């Protein structure tokens, strides 16, 4: 009886050894391969659906970085050059699907690092996946501070908080119009545009402005005449409108329809896009705005692009249009990941995470360092104004290419 038990135990040992060999053999092979093979980055993107214009711009940003890195032989990991491979999934502009695909990228595709989906909401939702599996994740388009308030250690975003747009812009307007009193704010009733509208209200009140009008308009509004008639009645010196490109084109046109002549008009974010200037024509003159990056900025960088100028040139050559901040932040998360891996000298997730947290990266997008929560805090977003149909950066001083002008058509 004893002998028989012994024999069974022996057999069990042999079997488990065999299973172990079978199981870990390929794993150890793949480990070896992992140290020389491509570095895999997961990127869930809204390539179809309402967010597809932004999704496509982000993808172009990732691609130009990847091509540039791979043309140079790859990322230098402690002396070995390893190429980059980006695994894309289209989440069809549906946030729940973005979260599922992020999970799939980690468990099925076994990516080493991750780029977040588009916007604050989807970034926050998908960040739990990254945190669970401890995958360093770079967020290219999340500006709301609420994204970073979960105490997560593996999430890093390139956009500074919303008030970093409203504060310097309000400061600049105040300096230029010291006697102005009244500001009117019209905000789209939507997460980000409303949040930024509220930030402008705070910034304006702080500097002694009287907020004479603050209203929200519904998504898909086809007519702003009533709101603008009221704003005209307030005789506001400064009008702030927030929303997306179609809203801002319509608001600007209807301001002209009602003969509104404020000293200053600020619109977030449409003027960052060339299509706003094309669609509003002369009406875009002297409209001010702010965004996290602008091709007119002049950063010298230690990344693969070398400078903002060279980046813009390369991008324009490849995609036949001038990159805006959405495309640029896509490339920025790329160079950021590359610099962090090169500084860490390894693709070890914890070490790369620590390298990211340490900050101090000079990129074409601006200098990047992060708060303990992971949001960029290290640069002042450019404030710009459309002058003679061109976008001129009017602040901060380090990157400005012209002075703020007052008066609109």
Partner 1 sequence: MLALQILVNGILLGGIYASIAGGFSLVWGVLNVINILHGSFVVLGAYMAFFAYTLLGIHPYLFVPIAALLLFAIGLAVQYAIVNRVIDAPVLVSLTLTFGLTLFLDNVMLNAFKADFRKVNLRPPLGIIDVSDYLPAIDIIVPVDRLASMAFAILLVALLYWLLRRTSIGRAIVAVRMDRYAASLMGVDTRIIFAVTFGIGAAMAGAAGALLSPIFPISPLASTAYLGKAFVICILGGLGSVTGVLVGGVALGVLESFGAYIFGPEHSLTLSFTLLILLLIFRPTGLLGKRGFI
Footprint of partner 1 on this chain (CB under 8 A)? 50, 52-53, 186, 189, 215-218, 220-227, 229-230, 233, 245-246, 249-250, 253, 256-259, 275-276, 278-282
Beta-strand runs (E) in 154-291: 155-157, 182-188, 210-217, 238-242, 264-268, 287-290
Q: Tell the smallest beta-carbon distance from residue 58 to partner 1 (Å).
A: 14
Pick the closer one to partner 1 by CB: 148 or 217.
Answer: 217
Q: Tell the smallest beta-carbon distance from residue 244 to partner 1 (Å).
A: 9
Pick the closer one to partner 1 by CB: 22 or 222.
Answer: 222
3-state secondary structure 88-99: EEECCCCHHHHH
Contact predicate 352/113, CB 8 Å:
yes
259 Cβ partners below 8 Å, 6+ apart?
232
How many residues comprise the chain?
A: 409
Cα–Cα distances (Å) from 273 to 57, 290, 322, 364, in that order, read 12, 11, 9, 19
Q: Tell the smallest beta-carbon distance from residue 221 to partner 1 (Å).
A: 7
Contact predicate 310/328, CB 8 Å:
no
User: CB neighbours (10 Å) of residue 68?
Assistant: 20
User: CB neighbours (10 Å) of residue 352?
Assistant: 23
Pick the closer one to partner 1 by CB: 239 or 394.
Answer: 239
Beta-strand runs (E) in 52-107: 75-77, 80-82, 84-90
The token pair that represents 69 in the structure block: 């890195």
Pick the closer one to partner 1 by CB: 59 or 363.
Answer: 59
Cβ burial, residue 399 (10 Å; 0-12/13-18/19+): buried
Q: Tell the smallest beta-carbon distance from residue 133 to partner 1 (Å).
A: 34
Q: Tell the smallest beta-carbon distance from residue 63 to partner 1 (Å).
A: 18
Pick the closer one to partner 1 by CB: 9 or 258.
Answer: 258
Q: Tell the smallest beta-carbon distance from residue 94 to partner 1 (Å).
A: 16
Pick the closer one to partner 1 by CB: 207 or 216.
Answer: 216
Pick the closer one to partner 1 by CB: 180 or 279.
Answer: 279
Pick the closer one to partner 1 by CB: 156 or 244.
Answer: 244
- Counting Cα atoms < 13 Å in the Cβ hemisphere of 195 gives 15
3-state secondary structure at position 65: helix
Q: Which residues pair with residue 138 across a beta bridge?
A: 115, 156
Report the DSSP pairing between strands 113-115 and 39-45.
parallel
Q: Tell the smallest beta-carbon distance from residue 232 to partner 1 (Å).
A: 8
Q: Tell the smallest beta-carbon distance from residue 56 to partner 1 (Å).
A: 9
Pick the closer one to partner 1 by CB: 101 or 227.
Answer: 227
Pick the closer one to partner 1 by CB: 281 or 360.
Answer: 281
Q: Tell the smallest beta-carbon distance from residue 96 to partner 1 (Å).
A: 22
Report the DSSP pairing between strands 210-217 and 287-290.
unpaired
Sign of the torsion formed by the C-alpha atoms of 371, 39, 125 and 56: positive
8 Cβ partners below 8 Å, 6+ apart?
none
Q: Tell the smallest beta-carbon distance from residue 378 to partner 1 (Å).
A: 32
Sign of the torsion formed by the C-alpha atoms of 152, 158, 164 and 165: negative
């Amino acid at each position: 009886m004893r002998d028989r038990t012994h024999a069974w135990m022996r057999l069990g040992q042999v079997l488990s050894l065999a299973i172990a060999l079978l199981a870990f053999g390929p794993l150890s092979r793949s480990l070896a391969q992992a140290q020389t093979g491509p570095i895999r980055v997961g990127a869930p993107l809204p390539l179809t659906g309402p967010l597809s214009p932004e999704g496509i711009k982000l993808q172009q940003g990732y691609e130009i970085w990847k091509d540039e890195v791979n043309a140079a032989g790859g990322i230098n990991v402690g002396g070995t050059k390893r190429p980059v491979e980006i695994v894309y999934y289209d989440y069809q502009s549906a946030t729940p699907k973005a979260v599922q695909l992020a999970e799939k990228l980690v468990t099925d595709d076994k990516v080493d690092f991750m780029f977040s989906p588009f916007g604050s909401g989807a970034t926050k939702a998908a960040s739990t996946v990254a945190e669970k599996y401890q995958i360093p994740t770079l967020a290219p388009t999340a500006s709301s501070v609420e994204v970073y308030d979960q105490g997560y250690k593996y999430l890093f975003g390139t956009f500074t908080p919303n008030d970093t747009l409203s504060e310097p812009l309000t400061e600049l307007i105040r300096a230029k119009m010291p006697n102005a009193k009244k500001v009117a704010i019209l905000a789209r009733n939507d997460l980000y545009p409303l949040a930024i509208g509220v930030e402008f209200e705070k910034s304006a009140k702080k500097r002694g402005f009287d907020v004479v009008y603050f209203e929200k308009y519904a998504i898909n509004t086809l007519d702003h005449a009533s709101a603008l008639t009221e704003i005209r009645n307030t005789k506001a010196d400064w009008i702030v409108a927030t929303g997306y490109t179609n809203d801002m084109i319509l608001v600007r046109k209807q301001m002209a329809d009602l003969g509104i002549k404020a000293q200053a008009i600020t619109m977030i974010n449409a003027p960052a896009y060339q299509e706003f200037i094309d669609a509003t024509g002369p009406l875009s003159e002297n409209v001010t705005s702010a965004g996290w990056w602008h091709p007119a900025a002049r950063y010298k960088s230690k990344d693969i692009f070398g400078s903002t100028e060279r980046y813009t040139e390369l991008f324009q050559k490849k995609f036949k249009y001038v990159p805006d901040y959405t495309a640029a932040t896509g490339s920025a998360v790329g160079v950021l990941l590359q610099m962090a891996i090169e500084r860490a000298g390894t693709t070890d997730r914890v070490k790369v995470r620590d390298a990211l947290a340490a900050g101090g990266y000079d990129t074409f997008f601006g200098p990047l360092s992060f708060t303990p929560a992971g949001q960029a805090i290290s640069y002042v977003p450019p404030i710009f104004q459309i002058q003679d149909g061109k976008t001129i950066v009017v602040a901060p001083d380090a990157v400005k290419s012209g002075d703020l002008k007052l008066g609109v058509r």
